[in-house]
Structure 1
Amino acid sequence: MANVAGRVLGTMIVYGYPKLSLDAELDLAEWIGAEVLEILPRWKELPDPRLLRQAVADRGLTIHSAHGCWGGESILAPRVDMGSTTQAVHEASVDDLRRCVDWLAEAGGTVLVVHPGGFSDRAEFDARRDALAQALSTLADHAEGTGIIVAVENMPPGVNPGSRMADLAELVQELNRNELGLTLDVAHAHIAADAASETLAAGRLLASTHVHDNDGRHDSHHPPGQGTIDWPSWFAALDAIGYTGPIVLECIKKIREDRSRYRREVLAPFLGPSSR
């Protein structure tokens, strides 16, 4: 089965934050049992990607992905929103995300996770969809030849488009670029609809995952097993679409605060032998 053949455990770590050392984050990733990493840089500081690449390699780990700029977590843009219909905001957002692509290429990763936009009125759906399509096309052009996939993440309710994976999948299919894909945030899916159906909607476009748990109402980023997500159902959906990529935890803050919150046995049955 797909889960035995290729599914490894990953985790997000932060990088460039003054109170959180890279060594401590890598120590925690190793304790979790992660083999691959998603990096959340402190984008305003643009921390050295080459230093990161070497430190990760020295631990025998691999950089899989980075979380691109979003909202106020930007480099030069006042705010990053690819769906914005305000030209200045849109252009500044795309410029910052180009910088993220370049940074990730230096760090040696392969997937840049991006948000489709911020909270918005449903009446703006079509206009924001057009803006998002334009932004993704520009980023695909910029990523061409780098080996990087720009993977759009599904969001909680209120992001138009972006809260339903079917809308994002339709857009990425229309753009038809090898440099574009999708990231499935299982906990966002649990709030917007359900994890399994949103995964099936992503289909073969799925390039990465964000894995955490919640009660179906609040985006609380609990470790798996501390909410109400049906994990066997979700992994069955991953099998159905043939996804063999990493299972990337996005709950390191909670684990950092209290390691006893992390229950290895929740995901272990669904991972390849090296990640159990």
Structure 2
Amino acid sequence: MLPLKIGAALMVSHLPTYRDWLIEAQRDLEIQDFFRPEVLLGDWRGLVAEARRQLDGFEGRLGIHGPFYDLPLDTADPEIAPIVSRRYRTAVEAAAALGATQMVVHSPFTTWDWFNFGDHPRRGNAPSDRERKIARTQALLRDAVALAEAEGVTLVIENIEDIDPAYRRDLAASFASDAVRLSIDTGHAHYAHHATGAPPVDYFVTDAGAMLAHVHLQDADGFADRHWPPGRGTVNWHAVFRAIAALPQRPHLVLELRDAADIPAAMTYLTREGLAC
């Protein structure tokens, strides 16, 4: 039922500004610093300690954004894959130390994949590539998923270039683990809809169904990954929020904006439209 309570994806440095807003309603929160290579290769435990200090009194649902720069989940090179695998495991360690229950990872599926996989009557250039991509992703994330299961962390796979949301859903389901679920980025889906022929954003939500555990809320114009506050672009927010409200579960809902200072503007718009609180 609308309106839905939403939170935000923030850097630790933004927590003093939004701490009271987060705590007064115990909103969803995603700490984003952990996608930076220098963080996971450096003193991430110090950052965890600082975040925990800033979040004294916070009892909302907590997640982190995992690494993704140059770390594709389907890495095939036998020398590089162990490095990538280790980085994801380290990120799960950081999430567990923080007390987070989710970690966002990026989908391995590309625009090229959709046009070349062999499971469509108008295509079929590389019929076995989809299965190989799933197998490589399972192998690379095996240690991270095992640790996530032990620590009570869920990996949520976010759409990036995805055209067919079923590919990502099938990938998540292939792990047969409660520690792997789906994430949707509304701006990414809106870009894919306009630029590459993907379905509209609300269709991504409906396709994910009970597997959807996390949503990045950001507006865009369908041309690029804008990360604007809702109301500034052309996402059909009423359709998106109705689709989320119809789910049997409540995924983490966080504003992921290019400028954290736009959070008040986003909340003003979504509150006025009766969608969020």
TM band (smaller chain)? 0.7 to 0.9
The answer (yes or no) to whether the contact 1:255–1:261 under 8 Å persists in 2 is: no
Change (3 A) 1:133 1:182: same
2:55 aligned partner: 56
Within the candidate set 88, 103, 112, 2:79 is matched to 88
The answer (yes or no) to whether the contact 2:109–2:168 under 8 Å persists in 1 is: no
2:124 aligned partner: none
**TM alignment of 1:122-271, pairs within 5 A:** 122=113, 123=116, 124-156=129-161, 162-192=162-192, 193=198, 194-251=200-257, 253-256=258-261, 261-267=265-271, 269-271=274-276
Aligned-pair distance for 1:166? 1.1
RMSD: 2.5
Matched, 1:35 2:27: yes
Name structure 1 gaps, 5 residues minimum.
Answer: 16-21, 72-78, 157-161
Aligned-pair distance for 1:115? 0.8
* Structure-1 separation of matches of 2:111 and 2:235: 26
* Structure-1 separation of matches of 2:167 and 2:19: 33
* Structure-2 separation of matches of 1:172 and 1:116: 10
Amino acid at match of 1:26: P
Aligned-pair distance for 1:266? 1.9
Matched, 1:26 2:46: no
Aligned-pair distance for 1:126? 4.0
State the percentage of identical aligned residues. Answer: 23
Amino acid at match of 2:92: V
Matched, 1:70 2:68: yes
Aligned-pair distance for 1:104? 0.7
Change (3 A) 1:163 1:49: farther
Amino acid at match of 1:44: E
Amino acid at match of 2:185: D
Change (3 A) 1:92 1:119: farther
Aligned-pair distance for 1:243? 3.4
Within the candidate set 106, 113, 122, 2:104 is matched to 113
Aligned-pair distance for 1:135? 2.6
Amino acid at match of 2:157: V
Deviations 1:37-96 (A, max 9, x none): 1011144132431331231124x364511000111xxxxxxx311112112222211110
How many pairs align?
247
Within the candidate set 32, 38, 49, 1:44 is matched to 38
The answer (yes or no) to whether the contact 1:185–1:209 under 8 Å persists in 2 is: yes
The answer (yes or no) to whether the contact 2:73–2:108 under 8 Å persists in 1 is: yes
Change (3 A) 1:142 1:120: farther
Deviations 1:160-182 (A, max 9, x none): xx443211111222221011101
* Structure-2 separation of matches of 1:64 and 1:29: 13
